[in-house]
Amino acid sequence: MSQSSTAPHILAIDQGTTSSRAIVFDGQMRPTASAQQEFTQIFPADGWVEHDAMEIWRSVLTTAKQAIQNARIGADNIAAIGITNQRETVVVWDRDTGAPIHNAIVWQDRRTAALCDQLKADGKEGMVQAKTGLLLDPYFSGTKLKYILDTVEGARAKAAAGKLAFGTIDTWLVWQLTGGASHVTDVTNASRTLLFNIDTLSWDDELCALLDIPMNILPDVKGNAATFGTTEAKLLGRAIPITGMAGDQQAAGIGQACFEPGMLKSTYGTGCFALMNVGETRAPSHNRLLSTIAYQIDGVTHYALEGSIFMAGATIQWVRDGLKLIEDAADSEALARDANPDSGVYMVPAFVGLGAPYWDADARGAILGLTRDSGIKEIVRAAIESVCYQTCDLMTAMAADRGSQGSAPLRVDGGMVANDWAMQRLADLTGQVVERPKIIETTALGAAYLAALGAELIESKDQVSRDWARDRLFEPQMGADERASRLTGWADAVSRVLTT
C-alpha cells in the first residue's frame, strides 16, 4: 500500500435533512471519497414533517461503509469520526431496546405552533430568550419533545422510570454507533433545544419545568472536540473513536475557519444560514436574530449571531420545477446575466413565510414590478436577487446588533455559490466582499477538523485557518446610490407581503 493510503484518515458523517452523507478526508484534510443516500420524508399532516430515525441510522451506516470502501482504505486507516447533523430534530427512544417511541420530528415541523403562541401569551419569551438566545418558535426541539412525551401512550411513565432517552440526531447516531454505551451531545446541538442555558452551559431546571421535560432523559453535553464514544467494532470493522461533533451550521462555520469575532459565513443550500462569530461574550439580539453557541474548543466558548432564511437555493428550484423556466439550476446564471438590468422586478420568496429578521409565518410570496417587457430572464434574475436581498437584511440586523458594519469578508458555501453572477450580485447588494473557498463542502470539513482536533491529529484550530484556501473573491462594484435605491425597492416589495 502507498503511504498516503495507510496514513490516518478521518470519516465525516454529515446527516442532513434530505440525505445522509459520509466523506473520507486524508491526512491533509482533502476529501478523497464519499457516499450519499436519500431517505424518506414523511408528511403526516399540513406543516408536519417526520423522519424514520431507524432509516436515518441505516443510511448513515451504509454510507459510512461505502465511503470507506470508495476511499480504498480499511477501517484500520480511519483514525477518528466526526459527526455533523440537521439540527433541532427530535428522537426519543427506549433505553433498553434502542427503539424510537415515535418518528423523529423534524426541525421544519410546525405542529407545536399553538403551544409556542400560548407560552408567548403567558409572557415566557423573555425568560426563554435570555437563557437560550432563541425565540419561542416550533423550529426548536423543546416543544417537539414535550409533544412526544404528551402524546405517546405510556411515555411519561416510562420517562419517570428512567427508561427513555432523548436526543437530537447527533445523540441518536452516537447511541447507535456505540451500541448504547454513550448518551451524549455537544454544546452547539444542545443550544438549539430550548432547554439549554447558553451562559451556564448546562441544562436548565426552569426551562425543563416550563416544558415539563424530565431531566433524566437528557444527554451529557460536551465541547465540540472531545471523546464522544467508540464505535462498536462489528459495525465498521474496528472500534473507532468519535471525537468531533457540531450542528451543521456551526460545523460550516468551523470549516470556514470563522474563529475571530466579526468573521461570518453564509451557507446557500435549500435555505440560507448566516452565522457571525461574536467572540467569548454572548451578544443578545435586538433585531430578532438568534444568539447561539458557535463552538467550544479547548474549553473556550465562542458565541454567534445567526440569521436563517427559509428559501435560498429552493427559490431557484421553484423557478426550475414550479415555473419550469429553466432545466437546471445552473442555467439561471446565464439568464440573469442577460436580463434587463433596469427591469424593476422583485421576487419576495415568502413561500413558507419569512424567517429572520421578519419571522412572519403567514406572509406569502409575490413577484412585483412586472411590465410588458418583463420576461423569463427578469424573473430568474429577481429570484437570484431575492437571495441576495435577504442576505442584506441579515447583514443589516447583524450590524445593528453589533453596533457596527463588519468589515470581514462574507465567506460563502453551499450549492448555490457555484453561481458566479449570484456571488457578484451578493457583493454588490450587500456592499461586502464575498469570499468563496476552494472546498465548498464546509459542513463535513468542519466535522472532520473537529474530529482531528479531538483525536489530537492536529494541534489546534489554527490549522484550519492555515489550510483554508480561497477559490475566488467578489468585490462590490455597484455605486452607493444604485445600491440604496435597489434596497429601497426591496424593502417596499417586502412590506407588501408582511402580515404583521
Q: How far is CA 164 from its chain centroid?
A: 27
C-alpha cell at 29: 484534510
Q: Which is nearer to ligand ADP, 57 or 273 (CB)?
A: 273
* Angstrom distances, CA of residue 14 to CA of 86, 338, 344, 378, 441: 8, 37, 40, 36, 10
Nearest residue to 263 via CA among 103, 444, 104, 408: 408
The CA distance from 400 to 86, in Å, is: 29
Q: Which is nearer to ligand ADP, 104 or 211 (CB)?
A: 104
The CA distance from 304 to 275, in Å, is: 6
Distance of closest approach, residue 108 Cβ to ligand ADP, in angstroms:
12
Q: Which is nearer to ligand ADP, 93 or 273 (CB)?
A: 273
Distance of closest approach, residue 333 Cβ to ligand ADP, in angstroms:
6
Distance of closest approach, residue 87 Cβ to ligand ADP, in angstroms:
13
Q: Which is nearer to ligand ADP, 317 or 340 (CB)?
A: 317
Site residues (vs ligand ADP, CB under 6 A): 16, 18, 269-270, 313-314, 316-317, 329-330, 332-333, 414-416, 418-419, 422
Give me the residue whose beta carbon is nearest to ligand ADP: 415
Q: What angle do CA 476, 479, 485 make, to 5 degrees?
A: 110
DSSP state of 195: S
Distance of closest approach, residue 431 Cβ to ligand ADP, in angstroms:
22
* Angstrom distances, CA of residue 254 to CA of 122, 265, 449, 464, 468: 38, 9, 8, 8, 10
The CA distance from 110 to 113, in Å, is: 6
Distance of closest approach, residue 101 Cβ to ligand ADP, in angstroms:
29
Q: Which is nearer to ligand ADP, 119 or 314 (CB)?
A: 314
- Grid cell 431546571 in the structure block, residue: 205
Distance of closest approach, residue 313 Cβ to ligand ADP, in angstroms:
3
Q: Which is nearer to ligand ADP, 385 or 401 (CB)?
A: 385
Give yes or no for a contact between 81 and 10, defined as CB atoms under 8 angstroms apart.
yes
Distance of closest approach, residue 380 Cβ to ligand ADP, in angstroms:
9
Q: Which is nearer to ligand ADP, 204 or 428 (CB)?
A: 428
Torsion, CA 83, CA 88, CA 90, CA 96, rounded to 10:
40
